[in-house]
A = this chain, B = another copy of it.
Amino acid sequence: MKIGILGYGNLGRGVESAIRQNDDMQLTCIFTRREPSSIRPATEGVAVYSADEIEKLQGVIDVLVLCGGSATDLPSQTPEYAKYFNVIDSFDTHARIPEHFAAVDKVAKENGHVALISCGWDPGMFSLLRLYGAAVLPEGKDYTFWGKGVSQGHSDAIRRVKGVKNGKQYTIPVEEALREVRSGSNPILTTRQKHTRECFVVAEEGADLLQIEKDIKSMPNYFDEYDTTVHFISEEELKEKHAEIPHGGFVFRTGVTGLEKEHKHVIEYSLKLDSNPEFTASVILAYARAINRLSKEGVSGCKTVFDIAPAYLSPLSGDELRAHML
């Protein structure tokens, strides 16, 4: 199957490298809103086009992977390009998923394409685990923890603080909270009890460090409800020790069964990812395979990971899956 990528940032480059790990896929072209000649793909022989030319590639690619951001790119791009292609995105603004779904579904159905939104690990794999957990343990509670990992949104927020030159924020799950959940005691946990936040900040010369720390720790929504630690480091140290984009987290479902609810059960799923965008890209490609198959079966409209039978993700046949993986 032939894949196109729109947007050549961290996620786009992750998709490019993940395509090399899937024998049934090839990267056909990259679309960019920058000057195409400024893009140097890592893969030889891949064409780079301006995003303005995208319509002309209809019929040439099987699935277009949209690698833009959820704030401003995807709400317009995904419905727009579902006119011309099967598309997949990683839209992760949880609260706006219903309206995004509706907009994409309409266009995809009108144009006979399959779209899949909100793919990756959260939303994505974590969503699946929440659904499976609730379905198989209907009387219970679920818990999602993130980290240890870099939060792009919180790192951006730090960098907007006056006197800050650069910075990176790690979200860290609280060990004690993980232990309590694992025990099956179904604890009620506050925001502060679940995660801590650790910031590595490069200050501008002469900046008021105490004021920066105060501004970060009191920032509403981002930091005020958490125990936050701020470390001031040099630009060199930031580059050396904090250049990577690791992430991960945990999804738990804990619940009871039995006539007297006497038996406890704990389901735990965790991800430990060296590269958030590369893992996200890898999940996206498995679902790109699925929507390409659905499209060939004549299906159209917008889907999420909830709507895709697992077998569609695998390059193996049903016979092979039953013989070797069941």
Contact = CB atoms under 8 A, between A and B. Distances in A.
Interface of A: 14, 17-18, 20-22, 42, 94, 97-98, 101, 118, 123, 125, 127-132, 134-139, 182, 184, 257-259, 262-275, 278-279, 281-283, 286, 289, 304-311, 313-315, 318-319, 321-323, 325-326
Given A127-B326, A307-B318, 12 more contacts: A21-B138, A97-B322, A125-B132, A129-B269, A131-B325, A134-B325, A135-B286, A265-B279, A267-B271, A268-B269, A305-B326, A307-B311
Nearest to A14: B257
B304 A138 contact: no
Contacts of A310: 128, 131-132, 135, 305-308, 310
25 contacts: A17-B258, A20-B259, A97-B322, A98-B323, A101-B322, A118-B326, A125-B132, A127-B326, A131-B310, A131-B311, A131-B325, A134-B314, A135-B286, A135-B314, A136-B282, A257-B275, A257-B278, A265-B275, A266-B272, A267-B270, A304-B321, A304-B322, A307-B309, A307-B310, A310-B310
A128 B134 contact: no
A30 to B, nearest CB: 15
Nearest to A122: B326
* Total copies of this chain within the assembly: 2
Nearest to A270: B268
A263 B283 contact: no
A23 B20 CA distance: 47
B267 A263 contact: no
Given A135-B313, A268-B270, A286-B136, A306 B319 contact: no
Contact of A131 (B125, B184, B314): B314
A252 to B, nearest CB: 10
A325 B17 CA distance: 30
Contacts of A279: 136-137, 257, 263, 265
A221 B288 CA distance: 42
A129 to B, nearest CB: 8
Nearest to A118: B326
Contacts of A313: 131-132, 135-136
A121 to B, nearest CB: 9
Contact of A306 (B94, B97, B322): B322
B98 A319 contact: yes
Contacts of A128: 132, 310
Contact of A282 (B257, B262, B289): B257
Contacts of A282: 136-138, 257
A278 B308 CA distance: 27
